[in-house]
Structure 1
């Protein structure tokens, strides 16, 4: 009886031993997920990647042993499930707000079908993010077969992660870069974005985690390699200290660099001042496209505009799709009539019709009531605003389109001229694409306008959206004005400080003075040069030992 119990306990212990690495990977991924807004435990980002790094390198080392040792090495956890577990933990937690699209019964989608769509979107985008992590892990295993120097592995691992983020962000589906784990709380490190965009922050996080991991990898090396292969011998205590002290020195140095950029005084000449008002209409999506929603939108935005005009603002910004009509109906609206009466410029979110298609747009309506410029949203939300593989899937999800016509993206090289100079525009989802803002800043954009509508989701989503806009303001060294339908609307200065922020699910009208700027950060001038430099240096570091 005792023998049976012992065997049973032994099997349970073996199962736990097998599952333990996956639990470690999943748990550390979840910890990374807690770093983003609204939880914002940002400092965990500097530690939460290290466990996965250790597991990946140990897995590669055991793989090497299995092909060179005469006796079987300890069982190695499967690399793909390990990396996917970490990626699912991170992206699943960080992007859990996606489920807020349910229920979509107001759009005519049945309750169960709505739940299925919400879960599919969450699972798909989580796995898409996890695929990046899995690609990195596979790459690290490949390089670990020939690279046994921890510092070189840190260089290559950092380059690989930054390269993969650049690749993913070039596609249509992007949001959760490691860099946004530091926003909005760690403004000092976010100033590295002025040097090379979000990749500079991502590289800092990955490198520090890698150095910590390499100390742990070498600390445990002797457990499995004793007298089997020389390059797997454990580092001495002083060797481990080198990795940890380098990690600490890098962390401190990078924050000092960020602090030096953060501490620069903002030049704000009076002649560059611009008093801007925002209107947060708080029109629920459930009624937005119905007569009651139209009535509330016209009344709320007209009333808000008149109130702000009486406060002597220079311009008024409304959210994405504030007036959910085509341009002709917008011109005939009571709000534009108020513009003609008061003569204050209004930036109005609406739709621009192009034949049988339309573009989600922001219009500049001048004091004479005429449209002087337009920006069309270039980065559209997959499924939500357009249907990938429309010939196959169009009939299935056609109800997700708010209008009978098909939404199309705006041009990728637009500029948005206003009576106050050129502006940078990012409509809602575009806030995640730093390149959109960099290009417009390089083309002469002097301030950021960010009209958005996050009404489908809980407060977690607009918190992250605000965090994205903070990063864009810092990277381009521009003031940002954020007007949303239901929150959080805000004014952000070029150092990422939130001067004012609205409540959530509230109707609000507010005005602040911003300043037009023509500076150009290194990132605006040169783009993401750091990723290219890291990839080049990493490639050389990988190839040189092979040449020997």
Structure 2
């Protein structure tokens, strides 16, 4: 009996390790590794470990919440490891050691936060389990999508399961046109659930086969390839991709009279010098010269990155870029700071050819540490200044609209690319194409690639062309099918022009929002109360 304890301890370590590894595998689905196909199996091990827990399970069996917590840390910790790129934060005036402590804290906090959500999922899976594997898949899928919806409503959101497929599996990403990113997430979770249920049943059948039974004339060997769970998993995988393929195959219908030639400027101004005289002068030269080069190519408008000119809008008229705009008469969308009382906003402005500013969009989703201090009572004393300005940055209003001479436009500034509802609302209000203005200079190339992947999803979900202008990369042009027509280099100065086609189509998601979430909740509730 005494020898069993080390064995149980070893089994527990094995289970925890399996949970962590499967979470890590899920984290490798996104940049920089991009093993997107692993998303279709990486949740299955956790599912099997969680559903194995029942009232009759040995009390020494690993706790489902802990298993979920470990899986979540593995996934989110790897997926958002690019956040370590903010160290050293000398561009914020933070000393090296405090910068390292803050960076590790942020990485750990976001990873732990993701772990808590998966832990909640595991707890509810156990509590709501009625022993029916089909209902378990429905409830497990509903719970996961519900938790992602709740998480995305807060300030810390990035790593949806749906984005594990971007930019590689464009076919499945087209399901986002039906009910947003939760559609893709639901398919991934349900497929993993069916695979897990199949493997669980096969394991139980194998145990039964090893038991002595009376001989019969009919073979009791199970036909694993006709297992109902495996059939449902295969059917779901094929059907979802066929639907996505149909949506992907819809022609874009290039209408010449709607063509719009837009140019972007990637200034490549390091954050460390951006707010210093050296950086500001370099920015003025880069964006003015880029604007002139693009207007020589016949563009109808020019997009600059987030805070391309780190000055207040009231001072824009005094810049050489403004002089160039008045001279050439071509519209520019300029990233700068907007004034709001004693505070300021991170904004994008429409500047007409005569120098008049006609529209303004204020960034509503601010980056923790980059633009505001979370837990300011704790960290405020360490970070003496968070921005180059003495004023305090504030978020813009939700549900803004942005009108231009080309019609209404969908705007996303940097971190907002992760929030699908922001883009959906603007598309529903008549936005004809997407302008994404960003600055990812203080992170890693992996983050820039993930950011690009987020904008690909937003373009597909809203059925809109997307124009991305970033400070150091990756700038890009994306069509409504998520195909990247052009993508810049990294840490390079570049200008580029492409022709896009503003659209007024409305996908189911744009019209009805995340209706699938409501359907799942209703079906899950009805299924649970009926058993």
| TM-score (normalised: structure 1) | 0.92
Q: After TM superposition, where is structure 1 displaced by more than 4 Å over at least 4 residues in a row?
A: 10-14, 222-227, 234-240, 389-393
CA contact (8 A) 1:289 1:402 kept: yes
Matched, 1:32 2:15: no
Q: Secondary structure of the equivalent of 1:463? A: helix
Alignment of 1:61-140 (within 5 A): 61=54, 64-65=55-56, 73=58, 75-140=60-125
SS for the counterpart of 2:486 is: strand
Q: Taking structure 1 as reference, are residues 539 and 224 closer, same or farther at Cα in structure 2, changes over 3 Å only? A: farther
- Alpha-carbon separation, structure 2, partners of 1:378 and 1:29: 31
Cα pair distance change 1:508/1:460, threshold 3 Å: same
Name the CA distance, whole Å, in 2 between partners of 1:95 and 1:390: 22
Per-residue deviation, 1:219: 2.3
- Equivalent position of 1:320 in the other structure: 306
1:318-352 CA distances to partner (integer Å, 9 max, x unpaired)? 00000000001112110011000000000000000
Give 2:243's match in structure 1, choosing from 245, 257, 262.
257
For residues 232-251 of structure 1, what are the structure 2 equivalents within 5 Å? 237=223, 241-251=227-237
Distance in structure 2 (CA, Å) of the matches to 1:440 and 1:326? 26
Indicate which of 422, 427, 432 corresponds to 1:441: 427
Instruction: Tell me the CA shift for residue 11 of structure 1.
Output: 6.6
Verify the 8 A CA contact 1:331 1:370 in the aligned structure 2. no
Instruction: Give the one of 51, 62, 75 matched to 1:57.
Output: 51
**Contiguous gaps of at least 5 residues in structure 1:** 1-6, 67-72, 228-233
Structure 2 counterparts to residues 158-169 of structure 1, below 5 A: 158-169=141-152
In the alignment, what sits opposite 1:41? 35
Contact map agreement 2:439 2:472 (CA 8 A) in 1: yes
Q: Is the 8 A contact 1:430 1:436 kept in 2?
A: yes
Q: Which residue in the other structure is 1:506 paired with?
A: 492
User: CA, structure 1 residues 112+391, in 2 after alignment: closer, same or farther (shift >3 Å)?
Assistant: closer
TM-aligned CA distance change 1:447 to 1:468, over 3 Å: same
SS at match of 1:129: helix
- Contact 1:219/1:240 (8 A) holds in 2: no
**Which of 209, 212, 217 in structure 1 is aligned with 2:195?**
212
| Pairing partner for 2:477 from 491, 495, 499 | 491
2:268 alignment partner in structure 1: 282
Aligned-residue offset at 1:400: 2.0
Distance 1:281 1:512, change over 3 A: same
Query: Which position in structure 1 is the counterpart of 2:138?
Result: 155
2-structure distance, mates of 1:142, 1:100: 40
What is the 5 A alignment of 1:232-381? 237=223, 241-381=227-367
Q: What are the Cα deviations for residues 488-534 of structure 1, in whole angstroms up to 9, with x where unaligned? A: 00000000000000000000010000000000000000000001110
Counterpart secondary structure, 2:383: helix
Shift of 1:294: 0.3
Deviation for aligned residue 1:238: 5.6
In the aligned structure 2, how far is the partner of 1:134 from the partner of 1:379?
26
Give me the whole-angstrom Cα distance separating, in 2, the residues matched to 1:241 and 1:235: 12
Q: Distance in 1 between the 2:278 and 2:205 partners?
A: 71
1:197 aligns with 2:180: yes
- Which whole-Å CA distance do the structure 2 matches of 1:267 and 1:467 have between them? 24
Name the SS of the counterpart of 1:362 in structure 2: strand
Offset of residue 395 of structure 1: 3.9
CA contact (8 A) 2:162 2:184 kept: yes
Once the two structures are overlaid, the 10-residue window that deviates more, 392-401 or 529-538, is 392-401
CA distance in 2, matches of 1:11, 1:257: 51
For the Cα contact (< 8 Å) 1:219–1:235, is it kept in 2? no
Shift of 1:41: 1.0
Q: Residues 230-262 of structure 1, C-alpha deviation per residue, up to 9 Å, x if partnerless?
A: xxxx99546971111110111000000000000
Tell me the distance in 1 between the aligned counterparts of 2:201 and 2:388: 56
- 1:166-187 Cα offsets, whole Å, 9 max, x none, are 0000111100000000000000
Residues 409-440 of structure 1: CA distance to partner in whole angstroms, max 9, x if unpaired?
11112110111111000000000000000000
